[in-house]
Amino acid sequence: MPRRHRLNYRSGLEKEAAAFLKSRQKKVRYELLKIEWLDLRYRTYTPDFELDNGIFIETKGIFSSDDRRKHLEIKKQYPKLDIRFVFSNANAKLYKGAKSRYCDWCDKNGFLWSHRLIPLEWLQEPGKACNLKLIANKRKYKL
C-alpha cells in the first residue's frame, strides 16, 4: 500500500484551516507558492494556502510589525494579488497598549480578514488557482 504524504502544519490554526478546506476544495494547496518581493534585497514570501479561485490565505496567531510591513510591501509590489488573513484572534491589539487591533490594521490597509475560520463566501468567489511555484519579481532595482 502506498504511503501517504503527511503535512506538518506550523500551527493549530493552519491545521484547522486545512481540515476546513479538505472537503470544500478540489485540492488543499498548502505552502506551494513562493512570491518574490524586494526589501533592500530579494526575499520570498510563502502564503499559507491558495484557494481553488486563486485567493491566498494567510493564517496568523501573532501579527508582528515585521509581518505587517512585509504585507504592505507585497501589496505595493503586487497590487493584483488577493491576500486575505484569518486570525486566531482578530481583536488582538497590534502591540501592548495599542488601541488598534489586527482587524483595524487590515481595514485601514485594504486587506480582507476573518476571525478563526475561512468564510464560505471566499470559497465561492469566481477565479482560478495560479498553480505556479514562484511569482518572480520582474522589476529592476538598483540596490
In a domain, 142, yes or no: no
Tell me the residue range of the domain where 37 lies. Answer: 12-135
Q: Is residue 5 situated within a structural domain?
A: no
Residue 140 lies inside a defined structural domain of this protein: no
Is residue 122 situated within a structural domain?
Answer: yes
pTM of the model: 0.81
Partnered with residue 86 across adjacent β-strands are 59, 114
Residue 7 has pLDDT above 60, yes or no: yes
Express as a percent the part of the chain with pLDDT over 70: 92
CATH code for position 17: 3.40.91.30
* Number of domains making up the chain: 1
3 in any annotated domain: no
CB atoms within 10 A of CB 104: 16
Does residue 63 belong to any structural domain of this protein?
yes
pLDDT at 24: 94
Residue-averaged pLDDT of the chain: 90
Assess whether pLDDT exceeds 70 at residue 140.
no
